[in-house]
Amino acid sequence: QKQLVQSGPEVKKPGTSVKVSCKASGFSFSNSAMQWVRRARGQRLEWIGWIVIGTGNTNYRQGLQERVAITRDMSTDTSYMDLSSLRSEDTAVYYCAARTGDGGFDIWGQGTMITVSP
């Protein structure tokens, strides 16, 4: 079945970087698109950006675009979200979500907790 499996939780120091992976299975990765979203405690879901897997084209949230990079590796059907210069306010659960057909983002990863703490 269609599935996205994300990498495990991480604790990072301020100023460092984190790379979250999202491995796809059960659908055509190359014909999909992936969005990355996060939720900090008590906040609404926040869109980070998205990538069209086939072309590699990306679009990011302004205000994060200097620190974030979303990539994909079509040899392993994996998308990555790289966030640098981490701050305490980046502490959140990060999700990847795939659009696998003509509809919306129908497959979601289980979420990855990223904690930024001194």
Q: Does 110 bind other proteins (CB under 8 A)?
A: yes
Listed in order, strand segments (DSSP E) in 1-118 are 3-6, 10-12, 18-25, 33-39, 46-52, 58-60, 68-73, 78-83, 92-99, 107-108, 112-116
How many residues bind to other proteins according to rule CB under 8 A? Answer: 21
- From the list 116, 118, 26, 29, the residue with the least C-alpha distance to 67 is 116
Helices (H), 21-66: none
What is the spatial distance between Cα 100 and Cα 33, in angstroms, rounded to a whole number? 7
**For other proteins, which is the closer residue by CB, 13 or 102?**
102
User: Tokens for 55?
Assistant: 């072309």
Q: Does 40 bind other proteins (CB under 8 A)?
A: no
- According to DSSP, the β-strands at 10-12 and 112-116 are parallel
Q: Does 50 bind other proteins (CB under 8 A)?
A: yes
Interface pick for other proteins out of 17, 25, 31, 47 (rule CB under 8 A)? 47
Sketch the per residue contact string, 70 through 109, with other proteins: x for CB under 8 A, - otherwise.
-------------------------x-x---x-xxxx-xx
Q: Does 1 bind other proteins (CB under 8 A)?
A: no
**For other proteins, which is the closer residue by CB, 103 or 118?**
103
Interface with other proteins (CB under 8 A): 35, 37, 44-47, 50, 59, 61-62, 95, 97, 101, 103-106, 108-111
